[in-house]
Chains A and B, each alone.
Chain A
Amino acid sequence: MIELDRRRALISTAGLAVGGMATAKLLPEEMLLRDRRPARSRVAIVSAAAYSEGLADSLTRALRMFGLNLRGKSVLLKPNFVEYIAGVEVNTNPVLVGAAAEAFRHLGARSVVVAEGPGHQRDTYLVLAESGLDAQLRGQKLAFVDLNRDELIKVARRANYTGLEHMWLPRTVLASDFVVSMPKIKTHHWAGVTLSMKNMFGIVPGTKYGWPKNILHWKGIHRSILDICATAPIHFVIADGVVAMEGNGPLHGTHRNLGKIVLADDPVAADFVCAQLMGLNPSLVWHLDRAAHFLGNGSPGRIDLIAEQLPQQIVPFDVLPEFAHLRLRS
């Protein structure tokens, strides 16, 4: 009798375990993750007509609205530098990167470093030199770290969208006190949009994952963005929408003079607002929609626009036909 009960208990336990595992597999990933969304997120939309010398002052004023305590902290600026194409605004504008560095120094940062790992171009210095970032770095005496070739640390994933066992990420990013994602606001031919979350693809080291970071493409771009952003720190966003890109982004689109810089203390909230500025529906961008369930805020009810409001009238960005469904009505 006792033997029978023990057997029955064992079978029941095993059944529960198998059932539990099967259920876990069927559940959306974000239901298994800890909810890391802040109670509220703050986003500042700031108008800027051009990349001018006054940008540093504008950014300092806007940053002060967030009441950040940066005294003694190491700040890492992660702009988006893909490659240089003459006459095309592909990258975060170097003047904005320089202005951000100046603003963070004003606010008491102990150090400011610029870091990037271009996705396709192995000659990082060529991208810096031709894009004008190198001149900006020298002018401001700013250090640069090539994240494609930085020292790597094995990190356990904090989400499981890709199925990768772990990730190798650059020490410089992980050791920084305050990581700022500085994307160029652009459409993207695979992901729909490339904003502060997609920009973090650039921290993934080419040394390990290749040029392009092809392992992650095969695991799915949206899924990879979620795993990277759940695992690596993003403390702040300064998105370059002074001149944005529409159409066949991220490289071969056309200029769009949006005239906005978006600052935020939550990358998900930043990307939701940026997508709305582009006239696109963020909830239909898979990685943004998923991220808004556990990583940051997407709901307007939890986002405080602390500077300008969204414009009343927005002409949606041109997109490739497969992303036509993203466009909101103008």
Chain B
Amino acid sequence: MNCADEERRMGSREMTARLRRLFKAAQTDRRGQGAEAGQQAIEATCLTILALRNDQTADIKPALHAVENSQNKDGSWSAFFGDDAEGCWTTSIVVLSLMLTGREIKCLKSAIRWLLDTKGNEANWLWRWRFQILDRSVQFDPTKYGWSWALDTTSWVIPTAFTVIALRQIHRRGIKRTAAVTERIDLGIQMLLDRMCPGGGWNAGNGVAFGVPYSPYIDATAIALLALAGHEKEPGVQSSLAWLVKRLPGCPSPYSLAWGILALAAYRGVNREVETTLERATNELVALAESDAGADDVSTVAVCALALAAVAGDNVFEVRA
């Protein structure tokens, strides 16, 4: 084992230990420093569950129980514990967490049904017609739809990408292999490719608005690429991967850096640039983690821990067979 490997291993251990501390503090201090410490967002809880699922010293069972018990009657999950009983995008990440921790299949069934039934507003013919004929300030193909952040709104990149990842894993694991699942996966992939920024990468959801091309974000691009793994022949995937490889080095934020690493780890072996950037970005993440800049919240620390685990071969967002 060389020096860099040893540093990474230590970085990974340190990151997991930090996450354990934050997680424990969040469990005991219900009136802490914000949603992630006190109120607890479902997303942050699930990322933590995923990051600590193989850690023997962390007790994630109470968190898993809390997540299962907060499922809405229609099978969905809300944004945070104590939220209104309205399903939202977090359902996809809960499904991933429950699947990867081998939890109740009954709980998953209704959640999968909810994901398959839920559509961005473009799926409605009236809104589609509006976007095709009247409202052309944002250019996109409304026949290609995915999932939204909250009900009764349009499709966006990150919720769609997370749901595609969840459905591809559901399909891969044989939990549900129906035409409805593959149809929604295909449509979600088409939607992601349609909303790509000119030149590659993804913004929140619109590639072009008011005639101006939008700049991609690292995290949105990385999560979309994770959902599209296995589609390397698509020119859009190639250009987006090339954009990420160019943009990631030197990123000052651990959160984006970690998502970038998770995506590059899923595209290992595609070309030399991916390998080199993955190596460099991982070293940068370990260094940033030591400096503590921008890595003081549960979500960020959890994503960092997941990224370092992915470099070591355990990528929870991997969708390939």
**Chain A positions near chain B (C-beta within 8 angstroms):** 83, 85, 120-123, 125-126, 128-130, 134, 145-146, 149-152, 168, 171-172, 189, 205, 207-212, 214-215, 217-218, 248, 251-252, 320
- What separation, in Å, do the CA atoms of A251 and B317 have in the docked complex? 32
Query: Contact mask B32-43 → A, CB, 8 Å, 1/0?
Result: 111111110101
Query: Are B137 and A123 in contact, CB atoms less than 8 angstroms apart?
Result: no
A134 contact set on B, CB distance < 8 A: 293-294
A130 contact set on B, CB distance < 8 A: 252
Query: Are A123 and B35 in contact, CB atoms less than 8 angstroms apart?
Result: no
Query: Contact mask B204-217 → A, CB, 8 Å, 1/0?
Result: 11000110101101
The reply to whether the CB of B314 lies closer than 8 angstroms to some CB of chain A is: no
A129 contact set on B, CB distance < 8 A: 252-253, 293-294
CB within 8 Å of A: which of B212-267? Answer: 212, 214-215, 217-220, 251-256
The reply to whether the CB of B169 lies closer than 8 angstroms to some CB of chain A is: no
Query: Are A152 and B153 in contact, CB atoms less than 8 angstroms apart?
Result: no
- What separation, in Å, do the CA atoms of A168 and B204 have in the docked complex? 22
A125-B293, A210-B153 provided; 18 other pairs, C-beta below 8 A? A83-B217, A121-B217, A126-B256, A129-B252, A129-B253, A149-B41, A151-B35, A207-B43, A207-B80, A209-B149, A210-B148, A210-B150, A212-B205, A214-B148, A215-B149, A215-B152, A218-B152, A251-B212
Interface centre among B220, B253, B254, B255 (most CB of A within 10 A): B253
Closest 5 CB pairs of A and B: A210-B149, A125-B294, A126-B253, A214-B153, A129-B252
- What separation, in Å, do the CA atoms of A189 and B206 have in the docked complex? 14
Query: Are B204 and A151 in contact, CB atoms less than 8 angstroms apart?
Result: no
- What separation, in Å, do the CA atoms of A264 and B297 have in the docked complex? 35
Q: DSSP majority for the A interface?
A: mixed
B48 contact set on A, CB distance < 8 A: none
Query: Are A151 and B79 in contact, CB atoms less than 8 angstroms apart?
Result: no
Query: Are A149 and B297 in contact, CB atoms less than 8 angstroms apart?
Result: yes
Query: Are A145 and B150 in contact, CB atoms less than 8 angstroms apart?
Result: no
Query: Are A218 and B299 in contact, CB atoms less than 8 angstroms apart?
Result: no
- What separation, in Å, do the CA atoms of A284 and B263 have in the docked complex? 47
A209 contact set on B, CB distance < 8 A: 149-150
Ordered by A's residue number, 9 sampled pairs between the chains whose C-beta atoms are within 8 Å are A126-B218, A128-B294, A145-B34, A151-B35, A205-B35, A210-B156, A211-B158, A212-B156, A248-B212
Q: A123-B217, A123-B218 are in contact. Are A215 and B39 (CB under 8 A)?
A: no
A125 in complex: contacting residue of B153, B210, B255, CB < 8 Å: B255
Query: Are A152 and B203 in contact, CB atoms less than 8 angstroms apart?
Result: no
Query: Are B153 and A218 in contact, CB atoms less than 8 angstroms apart?
Result: yes
B258 to chain A: closest residue by CB: A123
Query: Contact mask B141-169 → A, CB, 8 Å, 1/0?
Result: 00000001110111010110000000000
Query: Are B158 and A122 in contact, CB atoms less than 8 angstroms apart?
Result: yes
B36 contact set on A, CB distance < 8 A: 149
- What separation, in Å, do the CA atoms of A83 and B153 have in the docked complex? 22
B79 in complex: contacting residue of A83, A146, A207, CB < 8 Å: A207
B153 to chain A: closest residue by CB: A214
- What separation, in Å, do the CA atoms of A134 and B277 have in the docked complex? 26
- What separation, in Å, do the CA atoms of A108 and B255 have in the docked complex? 36
The reply to whether the CB of B83 lies closer than 8 angstroms to some CB of chain A is: yes
